[in-house]
Amino acid sequence: MRVKSFFYLCNMNLTKYIRRASHEVRIGATIIGGNHPIAVQSMTNTATANVEASVAQIERIADAGAPIVRLTAQGKKEGEALADIVAGVRRDGYPTAIVADIHFVPEIASIAAESVDKVRINPGNYRTSGGELEALIAKCRKRGVALRIGVNHGSLAKHIIDRLGDTPAGMVESAMEFLRICVRENFNQVVVSMKSSNTRVMVHAYRLLVEAMEREGMAFPIHLGVTEAGNGIEGRIKSAVGIGALLADGVGDTIRVSLTEAPENEVPVAQMLVEHFQNRDGEFQVKHPEKYSPFEYRRRTSAPIVAHSEITDEYIVIDATSGNPTAEWRAAILNREDNAPVVIRRKYEGSAEEVALHTAADMGQLLLDGLADGVWIDAPQIAEEELHNIELVILQAARARFSHTEYIACPSCGRTLYNIEQALAEIKARTSHLKGLKIGVMGCIVNGPGEMADADYGYVGAGAGRISLYKGKECVERNIPQEEALEHLIELIKANGDWQEPI
């Protein structure tokens, strides 16, 4: 049975927390995988060619507590600046591991490998044929540079989409093609990731990847992240839902929380998530493992109830009290013989941010897997309205119920040539009452349109202070000055009949 083989093969089980076994990978002064702690990381959003600004931002991120920092290197100028950036950071006494993010140009990966500690490539725009990857591996091996095979749901290669579609299985095959070459070349200093802005796709893709690697005897460490999570409480909760669901499975050796904010803000959020999963005690027997699949959304059949019904025994509230609430709820739900709807509840201490992160990380998996029908956070120290909003945001982040406009906003990087933080805040202020819409707010025209997934409308950086607008995947207005772009976006939404006046 598939579910048993997943947990057996991966040295995990449904009943308790066991961290997935992976081999060690050295990234400069930091080692991930094996028994090493889960490392947190972030990415700069300065222009990489601006050495001084990039060094200063890396140091701010390092001061916030991240031992690994990534920079985009989209062209030769940026690739060559990396050596000066590494030198600047070392001169200032920081051992921070520096990672280059390469998308389209293999030559830049090769330049980067001469100075950085790790190179990330996207298999969606890198070829497996012609010896490109073998040449990069040779270069990495020479200097002890690690590699990340970083798959993005929004930028799979055409041959993968033609064969497997834009699916978790396609994402896994995209990584496996590259990992097999690494194995053939006897190069194991490789980390792998499967990011998506859709938390359900992301979680199922990572679990499928774990199974695929186990089947082929691979134990590469895993980098976790949700892309385009946005900012504020929504961005934090969306990241916690996706990353938390996998950390609860024992999967993940390094994490990045992507926020459309100053990158140093990402670090404490990531640290809070890692700490949350440090002690997962408790063992819970599951009588019906066959009712569960870790690889697909399978909504548990439950009887419908009328919203706000006063007949409270129409649904069951399951309280988790152990140190491993996710496994405790999962076992309790799978062990039920009836089809009563289930609401999961737990008491949480701490500030609103801690409660939001911890509940999203614990409860998200039950929603992503289709097991729970509702969430109930017991935290009397938080105002009721705020708590209710956290519950709604968790439901939306786990794609269980859509009650707000969804913003698919990238964290920005050295490719972003406009003020995305300000733009996102202004767009939210004007459009957050539009229920059921997805609006992409992306930093660059190169990766933005592909990676804003299934957004209804897109606001995408097209050049210095310039924006292009999208309706679905189609670009409908190009190069609008940023100051005018929000009004154009609203006009576009109106012209397509999706606008409502705020109440």
Between 382 and 413, name the residue whose CB sits nearer to ligand SF4: 413
Between 22 and 227, name the residue whose CB sits nearer to ligand SF4: 227
Q: With left for phi above 0 and alpha for psi between -120 and 50, is residue 393 left, alpha or beta?
A: alpha
Shortest gap between Cβ of 45 and ligand SF4 (angstroms)? 8
Kindly report the backbone phi and psi dihedral angles of residue 435, in degrees, each rounded to the nearest multiple of 5, phi listed first.
-65, 140
CA 407 from chain center: how many Å? 14
In the block, which residue shows the tokens 């990241």? 239
Between 49 and 366, name the residue whose CB sits nearer to ligand SF4: 49
Closest chain position to ligand SF4 (CB) = 443
> CB count, 10 Å around CB of 479?
12
Contact criterion met (CB below 8 Å) for 257 and 61? no
Contact criterion met (CB below 8 Å) for 113 and 143? yes
Between 248 and 410, name the residue whose CB sits nearer to ligand SF4: 410
Shortest gap between Cβ of 440 and ligand SF4 (angstroms)? 9
Q: Which residues pair with 408 in a beta bridge?
A: 440
Distance CA 266, CA 235 (A): 10
Shortest gap between Cβ of 289 and ligand SF4 (angstroms)? 39
Shortest gap between Cβ of 328 and ligand SF4 (angstroms)? 37
With a CB cutoff of 8 Å and minimum separation 6, the contacts of 429 are none
Contact criterion met (CB below 8 Å) for 345 and 319? yes
DSSP state of 196: B
Shortest gap between Cβ of 415 and ligand SF4 (angstroms)? 4
Q: With left for phi above 0 and alpha for psi between -120 and 50, is residue 382 left, alpha or beta?
A: beta
Shortest gap between Cβ of 152 and ligand SF4 (angstroms)? 9
Between 258 and 431, name the residue whose CB sits nearer to ligand SF4: 258
Distance CA 3, CA 21 (A): 18
Between 249 and 451, name the residue whose CB sits nearer to ligand SF4: 451
Q: Can you tell me whether residue 65 is helix, strand or coil?
A: coil
Between 266 and 451, name the residue whose CB sits nearer to ligand SF4: 451
Specify the DSSP element, H or E, that contains 347: strand 342-347
Shortest gap between Cβ of 408 and ligand SF4 (angstroms)? 10
Between 74 and 188, name the residue whose CB sits nearer to ligand SF4: 74
Strands (E) across 134-178 are located at 146-152
Burial 482-492, CB ≥16 within 10 A → b, else e:
beebbebbbeb
Distance CA 187, CA 183 (A): 6
Between 122 and 302, name the residue whose CB sits nearer to ligand SF4: 122
Distance CA 414, CA 405 (A): 27
Shortest gap between Cβ of 71 and ligand SF4 (angstroms)? 11
Shortest gap between Cβ of 364 and ligand SF4 (angstroms)? 23
Distance CA 171, CA 208 (A): 9
Shortest gap between Cβ of 6 and ligand SF4 (angstroms)? 31
Shortest gap between Cβ of 72 and ligand SF4 (angstroms)? 6
User: Which residues in this chain contact ligand SF4 in the complex, by CB under 6 A?
Assistant: 72, 410-413, 415-416, 442-444, 446-448, 451
Between 57 and 72, name the residue whose CB sits nearer to ligand SF4: 72
CA 129 from chain center: how many Å? 29
Between 175 and 417, name the residue whose CB sits nearer to ligand SF4: 417
What sign does the dihedral 417-442-167-39 (CA atoms) show?
positive
